[in-house]
Amino acid sequence: MDLRLDGKVALVTGGSRGIGRAIATALAASGAAVMISSRKAAALEEAAAGMAGSVGWFAANAGDAEAAAACVAATVARFGAVDILVNNAATNPYAGPLIEIDQPRADKIAQVNQWAVLHWTQLAYRAWMRDHGGSVINLASIGGFGVEPAIGYYNVTKAAVIHLTKHLACELGPGVRVNAIAPGLVKTDLARVLWESYGDTIASKLPLRRLGEPEDVAAAAVFLASEAASWITGTTLVVDGGALVSPIGLT
């Protein structure tokens, strides 16, 4: 399989840490020029400095429409294209029963996790992919397939990402492929409380007997971005160590 991405340009949102950083690192190692984006310039600068290859950064809140447009424009200006878009940025400022969530936090979750996925795709499509083709990879979650009491609205938006992926794949083919990755519990800062508190118990019940690392998801992203996946679109690739088929289900 040819997993090289030489000559391609990738833009990764939420690229300064965790899964986004691992994906950006892997794309750059596979030969792509990479632009990483997140809210904080200092974190982006540090992340980019630690990646081998041609890597730039642009500070932008994924849910800010003007910042998103500026980031896509900066990517084209610097690298000449946007062949690969990874919609990785996400937020979850609320944990608790879905019935108790307030509108401001619900709006923030939907703005970043759901609307931004569509908006950044629109921007990349208009700036480059409509005329030149490309690959969009959306980060969903296995939570989008079921029910978890503490992060219900987060998972509602991830379920929306799975459906957005299908719909966009139908609309944008044949030139643009659109796929999603649905990770299980991965050892990132966002999920630190969960894996530090219950990680050993959860891992012991997974068929593969370990939690995920950001690099596990990154490998899937490189595959989906590459020519090896040239006849794959509209799918959600589950990367969860077997959580969906384990006795613990989604929890």
| Ranges of the chain whose pLDDT falls below 70 | 248-251
Residue 99 burial class via C-beta count within 10 angstroms: exposed 0-12, middle 13-18, buried 19 and up: exposed
Domains in the chain: boundaries: 9-240
- H and E: helices and strands count for the chain: 9, 7
Q: Which of 200-203's residues contact partners 24+ apart within 8 Å by CB, and which partners?
A: 202/248, 202/251, 203/241
Supply the pLDDT for residue 1. Answer: 77
- State the catalytic residues: 154
Annotation: CATH topology of 9-240: Rossmann fold (3.40.50)
Q: pLDDT tens-digit profile of 127-159?
A: 999 999 999 999 999 999 999 888 999 999 999
Supply the pLDDT for residue 249. Answer: 52
Distance CA 1, CA 23 (A): 19
Supply the pLDDT for residue 251. Answer: 46
Q: How far is CA 46 from CA 15, 41, 55, 213, in A?
A: 11, 9, 11, 20
Q: Angle at Cα 164 formed by Cα 161 and Cα 169, nearest 5°?
A: 125
Supply the pLDDT for residue 248. Answer: 59
